[in-house]
Structure 1
Amino acid sequence: MARLTLFQRRRQRVRTALRQRAGTRPRLSVHRSGKHIYAQVIDDAAGRTVASASTIDKDVKGQDGAKASGANVSSAQDVGRRVAERARAAGVTQVVFDRGGFLFHGRVKALADAAREGGLEF
Protein backbone atom coordinates (compact mmCIF):
# COMPACT_ATOMS: atom_id res chain seq x y z
CA MET A 1 0.00 0.00 0.00
CA ALA A 2 1.39 3.38 -1.00
CA ARG A 3 2.07 6.00 1.61
CA LEU A 4 -0.24 8.98 1.65
CA THR A 5 1.13 12.46 1.14
CA LEU A 6 0.76 15.06 3.87
CA PHE A 7 -2.03 16.72 1.87
CA GLN A 8 -3.94 13.43 1.52
CA ARG A 9 -3.61 12.64 5.24
CA ARG A 10 -4.82 16.14 6.14
CA ARG A 11 -7.77 15.78 3.74
CA GLN A 12 -8.78 12.43 5.30
CA ARG A 13 -8.53 13.88 8.80
CA VAL A 14 -10.69 16.88 7.86
CA ARG A 15 -13.33 14.77 6.09
CA THR A 16 -13.59 12.30 8.99
CA ALA A 17 -14.11 15.08 11.53
CA LEU A 18 -16.55 16.78 9.17
CA ARG A 19 -18.73 13.67 8.80
CA GLN A 20 -19.02 13.40 12.58
CA ARG A 21 -20.14 17.04 12.97
CA ALA A 22 -22.17 17.55 9.80
CA GLY A 23 -25.42 15.77 10.51
CA THR A 24 -27.73 16.65 7.62
CA ARG A 25 -26.16 20.00 6.80
CA PRO A 26 -24.68 20.53 3.33
CA ARG A 27 -20.95 21.19 3.08
CA LEU A 28 -19.14 24.18 1.65
CA SER A 29 -16.26 22.58 -0.22
CA VAL A 30 -13.25 24.66 -1.26
CA HIS A 31 -10.57 23.87 -3.83
CA ARG A 32 -7.59 26.12 -4.38
CA SER A 33 -5.23 25.94 -7.32
CA GLY A 34 -2.33 28.17 -8.26
CA LYS A 35 -4.48 30.41 -10.47
CA HIS A 36 -8.05 29.98 -9.24
CA ILE A 37 -10.25 29.20 -6.25
CA TYR A 38 -13.50 27.25 -6.39
CA ALA A 39 -16.31 26.85 -3.84
CA GLN A 40 -19.45 24.76 -3.95
CA VAL A 41 -22.23 23.91 -1.52
CA ILE A 42 -22.90 20.17 -1.79
CA ASP A 43 -25.89 18.29 -0.41
CA ASP A 44 -24.36 14.85 0.19
CA ALA A 45 -27.70 13.26 1.12
CA ALA A 46 -29.19 14.15 -2.27
CA GLY A 47 -25.86 13.87 -4.08
CA ARG A 48 -26.10 17.24 -5.84
CA THR A 49 -24.47 20.65 -5.89
CA VAL A 50 -26.76 23.34 -4.51
CA ALA A 51 -24.63 26.41 -5.34
CA SER A 52 -21.19 27.13 -6.70
CA ALA A 53 -18.85 30.00 -7.53
CA SER A 54 -15.28 30.36 -8.70
CA THR A 55 -12.86 32.86 -10.16
CA ILE A 56 -13.47 31.29 -13.58
CA ASP A 57 -17.04 32.67 -13.61
CA LYS A 58 -17.41 35.27 -16.34
CA ASP A 59 -18.95 37.86 -14.03
CA VAL A 60 -16.16 37.89 -11.42
CA LYS A 61 -14.08 41.06 -11.57
CA GLY A 62 -10.99 42.09 -9.67
CA GLN A 63 -10.63 45.35 -7.75
CA ASP A 64 -9.48 47.25 -10.84
CA GLY A 65 -12.45 45.99 -12.89
CA ALA A 66 -10.34 43.62 -14.98
CA LYS A 67 -10.86 39.85 -15.18
CA ALA A 68 -10.03 38.46 -11.77
CA SER A 69 -7.00 36.34 -11.12
CA GLY A 70 -7.89 33.73 -8.54
CA ALA A 71 -4.47 33.96 -6.99
CA ASN A 72 -5.28 36.79 -4.58
CA VAL A 73 -7.27 37.34 -1.40
CA SER A 74 -9.70 39.89 -2.88
CA SER A 75 -10.83 37.39 -5.53
CA ALA A 76 -11.30 34.73 -2.85
CA GLN A 77 -13.46 37.16 -0.85
CA ASP A 78 -15.55 37.84 -3.94
CA VAL A 79 -16.06 34.11 -4.51
CA GLY A 80 -17.04 33.66 -0.85
CA ARG A 81 -19.68 36.41 -1.06
CA ARG A 82 -20.98 35.05 -4.33
CA VAL A 83 -21.34 31.43 -3.13
CA ALA A 84 -23.10 32.63 0.06
CA GLU A 85 -25.54 34.69 -2.01
CA ARG A 86 -26.30 31.76 -4.32
CA ALA A 87 -26.68 29.30 -1.42
CA ARG A 88 -29.10 31.62 0.40
CA ALA A 89 -31.10 31.97 -2.83
CA ALA A 90 -31.32 28.15 -2.90
CA GLY A 91 -32.56 28.11 0.70
CA VAL A 92 -29.35 27.00 2.45
CA THR A 93 -28.16 29.00 5.47
CA GLN A 94 -26.24 26.44 7.58
CA VAL A 95 -23.29 24.50 6.18
CA VAL A 96 -20.14 22.75 7.37
CA PHE A 97 -16.86 24.09 6.00
CA ASP A 98 -14.80 21.52 4.07
CA ARG A 99 -11.35 22.94 3.44
CA GLY A 100 -10.12 19.63 2.04
CA GLY A 101 -6.41 19.31 2.66
CA PHE A 102 -5.79 23.05 2.43
CA LEU A 103 -4.63 24.99 5.47
CA PHE A 104 -7.12 27.50 6.90
CA HIS A 105 -4.99 30.48 5.96
CA GLY A 106 -4.76 33.11 3.22
CA ARG A 107 -7.22 32.65 0.35
CA VAL A 108 -9.13 29.79 2.03
CA LYS A 109 -9.63 31.85 5.20
CA ALA A 110 -10.65 34.92 3.17
CA LEU A 111 -13.27 32.89 1.31
CA ALA A 112 -14.65 31.45 4.58
CA ASP A 113 -14.85 34.86 6.26
CA ALA A 114 -16.61 36.39 3.24
CA ALA A 115 -19.10 33.50 3.14
CA ARG A 116 -19.87 34.10 6.84
CA GLU A 117 -20.40 37.80 6.16
CA GLY A 118 -22.66 36.80 3.25
CA GLY A 119 -24.99 34.97 5.61
CA LEU A 120 -23.79 31.36 5.76
CA GLU A 121 -23.47 29.89 9.26
CA PHE A 122 -20.64 27.47 10.07
Structure 2
Amino acid sequence: MSVAQQRRNARLKRKDRVRRKVVGTPGRPRLCVFRSARHIYAQIIEDTTGQTLATVSTLSKDVLEGEAYSGNIEAAKAVGKAIARVALDKDIREVVFDRNGFLYHGRVKALADSAREAGLVF
Protein backbone atom coordinates (compact mmCIF):
# COMPACT_ATOMS: atom_id res chain seq x y z
CA MET A 1 0.00 0.00 0.00
CA SER A 2 1.39 3.40 -0.93
CA VAL A 3 1.85 6.26 1.51
CA ALA A 4 -1.00 8.21 -0.10
CA GLN A 5 -3.38 5.28 0.40
CA GLN A 6 -2.28 4.90 4.02
CA ARG A 7 -2.96 8.59 4.70
CA ARG A 8 -6.37 8.39 3.02
CA ASN A 9 -7.29 5.29 5.04
CA ALA A 10 -6.17 6.97 8.27
CA ARG A 11 -8.33 10.02 7.46
CA LEU A 12 -11.34 7.83 6.71
CA LYS A 13 -10.87 6.01 10.04
CA ARG A 14 -10.80 9.36 11.85
CA LYS A 15 -13.86 10.44 9.86
CA ASP A 16 -15.84 7.36 10.92
CA ARG A 17 -14.81 7.83 14.53
CA VAL A 18 -15.90 11.47 14.56
CA ARG A 19 -19.14 10.88 12.64
CA ARG A 20 -20.34 8.40 15.25
CA LYS A 21 -20.58 11.31 17.67
CA VAL A 22 -21.31 14.33 15.44
CA VAL A 23 -24.87 14.49 14.10
CA GLY A 24 -26.64 17.49 12.61
CA THR A 25 -30.13 18.13 13.93
CA PRO A 26 -32.74 20.63 12.72
CA GLY A 27 -31.87 22.94 15.62
CA ARG A 28 -28.13 22.50 15.24
CA PRO A 29 -27.00 21.34 11.78
CA ARG A 30 -23.54 20.02 10.94
CA LEU A 31 -20.83 22.20 9.38
CA CYS A 32 -18.77 19.77 7.30
CA VAL A 33 -15.37 20.75 5.88
CA PHE A 34 -13.49 19.08 3.04
CA ARG A 35 -10.09 20.18 1.85
CA SER A 36 -8.20 19.17 -1.23
CA ALA A 37 -4.80 20.32 -2.39
CA ARG A 38 -6.24 23.27 -4.33
CA HIS A 39 -9.62 24.06 -2.76
CA ILE A 40 -11.60 23.98 0.47
CA TYR A 41 -15.32 23.30 0.75
CA ALA A 42 -17.82 23.89 3.57
CA GLN A 43 -21.39 22.59 3.80
CA ILE A 44 -24.12 22.94 6.38
CA ILE A 45 -26.07 19.67 6.50
CA GLU A 46 -29.19 18.65 8.39
CA ASP A 47 -28.71 14.91 8.89
CA THR A 48 -32.24 13.84 9.86
CA THR A 49 -33.51 14.67 6.37
CA GLY A 50 -30.17 14.46 4.59
CA GLN A 51 -30.58 17.96 3.24
CA THR A 52 -27.76 20.37 2.45
CA LEU A 53 -28.81 23.79 3.72
CA ALA A 54 -25.83 25.84 2.52
CA THR A 55 -22.60 25.33 0.66
CA VAL A 56 -19.60 27.55 -0.02
CA SER A 57 -16.20 26.75 -1.49
CA THR A 58 -13.22 28.43 -3.04
CA LEU A 59 -14.85 27.66 -6.37
CA SER A 60 -17.71 30.05 -5.52
CA LYS A 61 -17.36 33.22 -7.54
CA ASP A 62 -18.10 35.65 -4.71
CA VAL A 63 -15.65 34.14 -2.21
CA LEU A 64 -12.15 34.82 -3.48
CA GLU A 65 -12.76 37.79 -5.80
CA GLY A 66 -9.61 37.50 -7.86
CA GLU A 67 -7.27 35.76 -5.41
CA ALA A 68 -4.40 34.06 -7.16
CA TYR A 69 -4.39 30.77 -5.22
CA SER A 70 -7.26 29.05 -3.46
CA GLY A 71 -5.38 26.41 -1.46
CA ASN A 72 -4.01 28.55 1.35
CA ILE A 73 -5.08 29.80 4.78
CA GLU A 74 -6.37 33.15 3.47
CA ALA A 75 -8.75 31.33 1.12
CA ALA A 76 -9.94 29.13 4.01
CA LYS A 77 -10.65 32.24 6.08
CA ALA A 78 -12.69 33.70 3.21
CA VAL A 79 -14.73 30.48 2.96
CA GLY A 80 -15.33 30.51 6.73
CA LYS A 81 -16.67 34.07 6.62
CA ALA A 82 -18.81 33.29 3.60
CA ILE A 83 -20.39 30.16 5.10
CA ALA A 84 -21.16 32.06 8.29
CA ARG A 85 -22.77 34.85 6.29
CA VAL A 86 -24.93 32.39 4.33
CA ALA A 87 -25.89 30.52 7.52
CA LEU A 88 -26.87 33.68 9.36
CA ASP A 89 -28.98 34.75 6.37
CA LYS A 90 -30.87 31.45 6.74
CA ASP A 91 -31.26 31.96 10.54
CA ILE A 92 -28.76 29.25 11.42
CA ARG A 93 -26.78 30.46 14.43
CA GLU A 94 -25.50 27.23 16.04
CA VAL A 95 -23.80 24.37 14.24
CA VAL A 96 -21.82 21.24 15.07
CA PHE A 97 -18.35 21.29 13.52
CA ASP A 98 -17.36 18.21 11.51
CA ARG A 99 -13.71 18.29 10.49
CA ASN A 100 -14.35 15.24 8.28
CA GLY A 101 -11.30 13.32 9.51
CA PHE A 102 -8.86 16.14 8.77
CA LEU A 103 -6.58 17.25 11.57
CA TYR A 104 -7.68 20.45 13.30
CA HIS A 105 -4.87 22.77 12.23
CA GLY A 106 -3.91 24.87 9.25
CA ARG A 107 -6.70 25.51 6.77
CA VAL A 108 -9.38 23.62 8.73
CA LYS A 109 -8.65 25.62 11.88
CA ALA A 110 -8.56 28.89 9.92
CA LEU A 111 -11.98 28.17 8.41
CA ALA A 112 -13.44 27.33 11.82
CA ASP A 113 -11.98 30.40 13.51
CA SER A 114 -13.19 32.79 10.82
CA ALA A 115 -16.69 31.24 10.91
CA ARG A 116 -16.75 31.78 14.68
CA GLU A 117 -15.60 35.38 14.29
CA ALA A 118 -18.36 35.98 11.73
CA GLY A 119 -21.05 34.86 14.18
CA LEU A 120 -21.50 31.09 14.09
CA VAL A 121 -21.55 29.33 17.45
CA PHE A 122 -19.84 25.95 17.84
Q: 1:48 aligns with which of 46, 51, 56?
A: 51
Q: 1:17 aligns with which of 11, 16, 21?
A: 21
Q: Which residue of 2 aligns with 1:110?
A: 110
Equivalent-residue separation in structure 1 for 2:25 and 2:78 (angstroms): 28
Letter in 2 for 1:117: E
CA contact (8 A) 2:63 2:82 kept: no
Q: What is the RMSD computed on CA atoms of the aligned residues? A: 1.9
Deviations 1:50-91 (A, max 9, x none): 111110011222xxx633522110110000000000001011
Q: Which runs of 4+ in 1 moved over 3 A?
A: none
Q: How does 1:79-118 map onto structure 2 within 5 Å? A: 79-118=79-118
Structure 2, gaps ≥5 residues long: 1-7
Cα distance change of structure 1 residues 115 and 68 upon mapping to structure 2, 3 Å threshold: farther
Equivalent-residue separation in structure 1 for 2:41 and 2:17 (angstroms): 21
Q: Which residue of 2 aligns with 1:6?
A: 10
Q: 1:28 aligns with which of 23, 31, 40?
A: 31
Q: Which residue of 1 aligns with 2:3?
A: none
Normalising by structure 1, what TM-score?
0.86
**% identical aligned pairs:** 49
Q: How many residues are aligned here? A: 115
Q: Which residue of 2 aligns with 1:73?
A: 73
Equivalent-residue separation in structure 2 for 1:30 and 1:10 (angstroms): 14
